[in-house]
Every structure is written in structure tokens, then in C-alpha cells.
Structure 1
Amino acid sequence: MNSEHNLKVSFLTWNIYQGFTSEPLFAASPEQIPEVVTQVFRQFLATNFPVRAKAIAEVIASEKPDLIGLQEAVQVSLIIPTFRTVTYDFIDILLEALEEQGLKYEVAALNNDVKAELPDSNGNLVQFLDRDAILIRKDHKLDVIRKQEANFQTNLTIPLAGQPFTIIRGWSSIDVKIDGQVFRMINTHLEPAVEAIRNAQANEILQGPGNTILPVIITGDMNSIPNSTTYNLFINAGFQDVWSHVGNGLGYTAHQAPDLLNAVYMLNQRIDYIFFKNVWEPIEAELVGESQNDRTKTGLWPSDHAGVSAKLNLEDHHHEESSDESGSFIMNSDCE
């Protein structure tokens, strides 16, 4: 394939679910925290990511996307003082499951977001790190020539165990060269609870990595429905919604039950998106992970979200990267 023709590039965005709801933690008094941490950790174990990862990998194998935007790709550790630390690294677990499907992906960019460590009622510590990541197919002619990884300046602060706690979120991006063409992919997970903070985060992306002459794709859980204020910030900035062009049906992506055992599909909101701008032509889009056949043998849905998969043509363009979009790797991270 040469650069005189359009290039077909495929993307998938999926919030793979951290495996538990955090609301009980924020509702607990300092004295209640250890017991609630134990309950939350039990829910995390019950939603069994190692088993779900195999189901997620099977779905990904049916699509074989070039690039994947993951949200809630968390790392959870149980620190048992007298024994060992047991760590569940969702990215490592998923990469291994993908390899079992004959697919080789690697992490192209990763943002470390909110981090917490709390005692449980059994004398252990539970450590949590939220992350979003961009995965790239290893066996394709996709060269990452630049990456950026950052946390938002504006984040939600709420009480946890009697202390102010900031739920840090962020974004990462990569510039990818394929057959002499360059495009940018941005991945993020915006604040769900407070619209003003969510809008500020969206604007940080639009004024930062989204402000480019390059063809650009944004994947993510935007926690906002079509025609909401946050959604319209992207649209008014010139981005288009792949689903509204080539998706069939309502495209609902959220939410299954927190324990992932609801008998029938419960998705009733569209909040996960693939946005595009500058010389892309959408070809097709579909939901993934929303079918009964996608469930694990133990009945778990792969995630509380469906994923969105899309193929687009990258039309021939002759924009060179501008001086501030050189081929150098950039790390811009406020992560601890």
C-alpha cells in the first residue's frame, strides 16, 4: 500500500472496568473504612479480571484493531505484611490474554492517574492505581514517533476517610507514522460526577494535544451523552463522532451491573466515543462486548461497558509535523 492511496486504520476504545464501585468508600466514616475496603476488595475479586481478560481478548481478536484505547486499566495490590504482595496488573493480564489469542500488542502510552492505599479489616493494605493506556499492534507498520502522557490540571477533590482526596485523571497521546503519513491518537477518561470539571478536562485536551493540524483520533470514556455540554465541546472544536456517521442503532455503551452478573443487557447510555478530525473518512463502527456470547463461562460480562470499534480511511495528506510536533519523544507527566 503506498501513500497515494487512502490507508485503512482500525481503532477500539474500551473501559474495561476496575472491577468494583468506589462509592461505598467515599460514603464511609474513617472508622468504617477498613470494613468497607474488605467489602470492596471482595467485589473486586468476584468480578475476576483474569477471567474477564480472556473474554475481552477474544472480542479484541475478532476485531484485530491496530490501536486500542483502554480506560480503567488499573493496578490493584493486596499487601499482606507477613506474606507477600499480590498484584493484579490489568494491562499485563490483558496483554498475556491477547498473546494467547495469537495477538501481540504493546503499550505505546500510559497515564498513571489517581492512587490510593487503604487498610482492610484483615490487617492488610490495599493499593490502587488507576491508569489509561494506548495499545498498539506490534506486527503492523505503525511507528510511534512521539508520545505525551499527562494528568489534568483540574480534578475532583472529595473527602475520603476524613481527608481531602483528589481523583486525578489524565490523558495520553501518540503520533503514529504509517506509509509516510502521520496521525495522532489521544486516549482519556473524563470526570463522571461534576460537569464543570469534566468540561475543564475536555478543554485541556482540545487546547492541548487535540489542537493540531495532524489527522487526529480521540478515544475514551467521556462520561457524557450525545448533545450534552461536554460532547458538544468536542463537536464545536471540529471533531466528529464516528458512531453518528457509520454506527447502527443507539450505540449504548454503559452500564452493566457492578457485579457483572445481570441476566440481560442493561446498557442504556452512550458515553464512550471515537472522535475524529482532519482528513479521516469513517468506514464502519460497531459495539463489542455487549452480546450474551461475549460473557465468561462463569457468567460475567467482560466489562460494565461495551467497547466501540471503528475503521477509518486516512486520506492522503501532505502536512509535515510542525516544529513543535517533531519526531522526538516527549514525557509530560505530573504523575507521582
Structure 2
Amino acid sequence: MSKHLSLLTWNMYLGADTSPLFTAPPVLIPERVTEVFRQFLATNILTRVKSIARQIASKKPDFISLQEAERIQLVIPSFRTVTYDFISLLLKELRELGLRYKVAAVNHNFSAELPDSHGNTVRFLDRDAILIRTSSKLKIVQKTEANFNTNLVIQIGGQPFVVVRGWSSIDVCWHGRTFRIINTHLEPLAPAIQVAQAQEIIDGPGNSQLPLIVTGDLNSNADGSGTPTYGLFIADGFHDTWVEVGKGNGFTCCQDADLLNNQSSLLSRIDYILFKNGWIPLKADNVGEKQQDRTETGLWPSDHAGVSAALKLNKNCY
């Protein structure tokens, strides 16, 4: 009997443009932190996560790969710490829709703790995660969570700041077969570093005879413009699910930073479900890209659209 697995990958969007922090002199850092945090509040993850959950529920994937699944905290002295945990929020919304997922793997990437202009502190942790549907008859036999050896270094307040990124993978047994899913979010601002990070995946968890799936935001255009990263994966034998079975342009990036642009501004395809070593793709779709997917307050659910796919495993695993 033919069996298939379903996956969905989505960059949840941290909720603000952080670039003002990179150019501000030390004396202006608190003011810029306040500006960035205000935009984060305005893009309202508490509302957006409901729309993200509804889109996921429409597909009911076996696996969800998340990028920018952040934990952001506002530390108010002598009062409390307000925490926005994107993963916990999403799991809660999915439960309310009758779907139960658990965290299969999560990689902790760059983190920062900066003062705002009101005497508070804002803490930020970047994460990517793989979730697995608990009702699926899938057994995780191994997981790996790692950071890249090569990362971008920028300046914040005149001090060097390492933008640590990473990847996670899970080996899954299903009906006597084992396969591997890898999730990542590659560096967008430095092409050479992005290429080095991609090569780490190809030479590391991607160097296997297991049936492989790579999901995530590669920040590399599928049309060959920009960085060569997408081409590296294809040259290594990976196939693009969207090219095989997707319909339309499949654009996934990017809406405006405030998520309020009237018409969709998705003009490039940089989010992928790639595969090799025995998978047969059955279908691929976008989620979160239509006007009706917006929140009740008019926000796009993320600055990225998500990608969902169904694949069939065509041969015995190694």
C-alpha cells in the first residue's frame, strides 16, 4: 500500500526590522531597542500565531519545520518578565484546533540582551525547530542540534556580535524504514558565509545514504539570482519539491516589515523542501500567501509564506 508523509516549513518572522541596531552608536542603542520592540508589539505575534496555526491545521502535516521561532522577553525591573515564546504559543494554538505536536528538535542560535529607553531590558533568542505530530506513528531514533562553524560578525553598539545560526536533524523510523529531516535558516546578509553554512550541511548531516529531506529558509533564490547556495544543494543531488510538483511561482518572500502591505509583495522563492535518496514528491502548496490568510487586524501571518508538501518513500532505508 502506498504511504506518504507530509511536511510544512515556515519562517514565523521575528516581527521587526532589527537593522537600526546595526548602525546605531552606543548612546542611541536604548532608543533603537525601543523602536524595534515597538514594531515587534505592533506585528503582534499573539494574533499572528492564530493565523499560522489555522494554516497549519488546514494541512495537518506530520512534521513542521520552523525558522525564527523566537523567544523574546521584556524584563521590567521590580515587576515581571513578559515572555513571548513562539514555539509554546504555536503549540497552544494547535491544541485548541485539535492538533497535538511536540518538539522533536530545536537549535538555539544567536541571543542578545539590550537595554531599552525606559529602563527595561529586552532579551532575544533566535531558534529553529522541528515539530512532530504526536498521533503520527513515527519514532525518532536520533536527533542532532548544532550551530554552524562559520557565522556573520556585525557591530551592535560598537561591539562585535556573532550572528550564530545552525541546523537540527532527526532520524525517524516509520514502518521499518528510517529517514532524516534537516531544518535550517541560512545567513541572508553575507553570501560567502551562507555558502559555507550550506556546505556544512551538505558535508555533515546531508552526507548520508539515508533518504533525506532538507527544509528551511535558505535565503537563496531558486531562479539562480543572488547567491549560489540553492544550486549547491541541487548539484549535490537534492531535488526541489516545488519544481517537481508545485503549481505557479511558489514565491515565499517577503512581505513588508510591518506586515501591512495592501497587496502581497512575495516576489522570490527562498524557502524549500528539498529531497534525495528515494523520495517521490506527490504535491506541494504554499500557505499564508493569500489575502484571506491575513489576521483579523489586517496583518500578514508572517513576512514569508510557508511551503507544504507530501512525499512518498520509494525504497527501503539503509
Deviation at 1:6, TM superposition (A): 3.9
**Structure 2 residue 94 is the aligned partner of structure 1 residue 98:** yes
Judge conservation of contact 1:7–1:315 (CA < 8 Å) in 2. Answer: no
The residue number in structure 1 matching 2:234 is 235
C-alpha distance 97-318 of structure 1, shift in aligned 2 (>3 A): closer
Cα distance in structure 1, aligned partners of 2:38 and 2:228 = 37
Q: How does 1:1-336 map to 2 (within 5 A)?
A: 5-226=1-222, 227=224, 228-319=227-318
Judge conservation of contact 1:155–1:168 (CA < 8 Å) in 2. Answer: yes
Cα distance in structure 2, aligned partners of 1:6 and 1:274 = 21
How far does the alpha carbon of each residue in 1:176-213 deviate from its partner, in whole angstroms, 9 at most, with x for none?
Answer: 11111111000000000111000000000000001111
Judge conservation of contact 2:178–2:317 (CA < 8 Å) in 1. Answer: no
Structure 1 segments of 4+ aligned residues over 6 angstroms from their partners: none
Q: Structure 1: state its 5+ residue gaps.
A: 320-336
Judge conservation of contact 2:142–2:171 (CA < 8 Å) in 1. Answer: yes
What SS class does the counterpart of residue 195 from structure 2 fall into?
helix
Count of aligned pairs: 315
What SS class does the counterpart of residue 231 from structure 1 fall into?
helix
Equivalent position amino acid for 1:96 in 2: K
Q: Structure 2: state its 5+ residue gaps.
A: none
Judge conservation of contact 1:6–1:316 (CA < 8 Å) in 2. Answer: no
The residue number in structure 2 matching 1:327 is none
Judge conservation of contact 2:179–2:317 (CA < 8 Å) in 1. Answer: no
Equivalent position amino acid for 2:6 in 1: S
Provide the alpha-carbon RMSD of the alignment: 0.7
Judge conservation of contact 1:57–1:98 (CA < 8 Å) in 2. Answer: yes
Equivalent position amino acid for 1:156 in 2: L
Cα distance in structure 1, aligned partners of 2:80 and 2:12 = 27
Judge conservation of contact 1:6–1:315 (CA < 8 Å) in 2. Answer: no
Give TM-score scaled by structure 1 length: 0.93
C-alpha distance 47-318 of structure 1, shift in aligned 2 (>3 A): closer
Deviation at 1:316, TM superposition (A): 3.0
Cα distance in structure 2, aligned partners of 1:85 and 1:125 = 9
How far does the alpha carbon of each residue in 1:259-310 deviate from its partner, in whole angstroms, 9 at most, with x for none?
Answer: 1111111100100000001010000001100011111100011000000000
How far does the alpha carbon of each residue in 1:144-165 deviate from its partner, in whole angstroms, 9 at most, with x for none?
Answer: 0100000000000011111010
Judge conservation of contact 2:256–2:265 (CA < 8 Å) in 1. Answer: yes
Equivalent position amino acid for 1:77 in 2: Q
Cα distance in structure 2, aligned partners of 1:52 and 1:158 = 29
The residue number in structure 2 matching 1:334 is none
Cα distance in structure 2, aligned partners of 1:83 and 1:35 = 21
Judge conservation of contact 1:80–1:124 (CA < 8 Å) in 2. Answer: yes
